[in-house]
Amino acid sequence: MLGNAPEFQALLRAMRIVSATDVTVLVTGESGTGKELLAQALHENSRRRDKPFITVNCAALPSQLAETELFVHCKGAFTGASSESIGKVKAANGGTLFLDEIGELPVAVQAKLLRFLETGECQTVGRPSSQRVDVRVIAATNRDLSQSINDGSFRRDLYYRLHVVPLELPPLRQRPGDVNLLLKGLTTELASTYNLRPPIYSKMVLNSLNNYQWPGNVRELKNFSERMLILFSGRNVEIENLPHEFRNHRVSSQSGQFVLPEQGLSMDELEASLIEQALGKTFGNRSKAARLLGLTRDTLLYRMKKYAIEC
């Protein structure tokens, strides 16, 4: 997984530590931050890497079939179940079961899942006794599950059972330096897939991409890289070539005064972004950048260190 930002590196370290165990992991983070990729990386780093990695998309499980899909191991016992049906839990035996979008799991099935997590046993239809299954469970969600607990759509006991080790993926806008790194890495990867030459991004463009909020996170950046690769292969990309959402991203200002956006902002992000812009404008000249920001050079250096900004 690409990423150098300190918070992201800390997350990878935690992932490597837990991958050596069988502990249940709950991966959280906004959409597109890489939850599924992290779950796969965890599996690949674990002793289970040669065994199945089975994904269950809980949001796509119809309520009536959810239990069958997850737990039932039988041949055509239910109408609607395929004749070769083998429950996903059983299919993951020896490997990893990835419960994606766990926040969407129907409440009735949550009770069954909890029972399975606590006993490690799974009922087989047509057989009186339950069977032990050896799976490592990773769950992921972009929902705030504590909110779901409050509104009654998620069981508190299941939450605690899953929340043994939480791994939270930071949003891309909070990963200083990673926009450029990911843009480069993803472009190289896509360029070789498409057999195209990468576009050449101007310094101003890179700055603008750095200051953009990336609400769709890495997925949005990957789609952007792909679009630009196809449209500008081997050519220069200037500000005016960017889609409008990138060009219009500015701190709103009115009569020379900064205006706090309706949705508020993070002072830390704003400060880091202004420092990056100043460094971009001055082509990395720290003294000039400090002057642009009304800071002393030392204060600028201190703040660059604080936000892990390199140039």
Ligand X SMILES: Nc1ncnc2c1ncn2[C@@H]1O[C@H](COP(=O)(O)OP(=O)(O)OP(=O)(O)O)[C@@H](O)[C@H]1O
Interacting residue ranges for ligand X, rule: CB under 6 A: 1-3, 29, 31-37, 142, 218-219, 222
CB of 296 to ligand X, least distance (A): 36
Nearest residue (beta carbon) to ligand X: 34
Give me the residue label for tokens 């420092």: 275
Q: Which is nearer to Mg ion, 120 or 166 (CB)?
A: 166
CB of 33 to ligand X, least distance (A): 5
- Report the DSSP beta bridge partners of residue 100: 57
Q: Which is nearer to Mg ion, 35 or 112 (CB)?
A: 35
- Report the DSSP beta bridge partners of residue 147: none
**Binding of residue 104 to Mg ion (CB under 5 A):** no
CB of 37 to Mg ion, least distance (A): 8
Q: Which is nearer to ligand X, 116 or 214 (CB)?
A: 214
Give the whole-angstrom CA distance, residue 225 versus residue 234: 13
Q: Which is nearer to Mg ion, 36 or 271 (CB)?
A: 36
Q: Which is nearer to Mg ion, 35 or 88 (CB)?
A: 35
Site pattern 179..218 for Mg ion (x: CB under 5 A): ----------------------------------------
- The alpha helices in the chain, defined as continuous H runs, are 6-19, 35-45, 63-71, 88-91, 107-119, 145-150, 156-162, 178-194, 203-211, 217-232, 244-247, 267-281, 286-293, 297-306
Give the whole-angstrom CA distance, residue 107 versus residue 128: 25
> Which does residue 57 bind out of Mg ion, ligand X, none, counting CB within 5 to 8 angstroms by kind?
none
Q: Which is nearer to ligand X, 3 or 199 (CB)?
A: 3
**Sign of torsion over alpha carbons 125, 129, 131, 132:** positive
Number of residues that bind Mg ion (CB under 5 A): 2
* Residue selected from 22, 36, 121, 226 as contacting Mg ion according to rule CB under 5 A: 36
Do 241 and 232 contact (CB within 8 A), yes or no? yes
Candidates 28-36, 49-57, 151-159, 299-307: pick the segment binding Mg ion (CB under 5 A).
28-36
CB of 179 to ligand X, least distance (A): 12
Q: Which is nearer to ligand X, 33 or 124 (CB)?
A: 33
Q: Which is nearer to Mg ion, 35 or 173 (CB)?
A: 35
- CB-based contacts of 283-287 (< 8 A; 24+ apart in sequence): 283/203, 284/311, 286/311
CB of 274 to Mg ion, least distance (A): 33
> Residues for the chain: how many in total?
311
Q: Provide the residue type at 183 as one letter.
A: L
Nearest to 67 by CA among 136, 148, 77: 77
- Report the DSSP beta bridge partners of residue 98: 55, 138
Give the whole-angstrom CA distance, residue 110 versus residue 105: 7
> Which does residue 173 bind out of Mg ion, ligand X, none, counting CB within 5 to 8 angstroms by kind?
none
Q: 201: which DSSP letter?
A: E
> Which does residue 31 bind out of Mg ion, ligand X, none, counting CB within 5 to 8 angstroms by kind?
ligand X
The footprint of Mg ion (CB under 5 A) covers 35-36
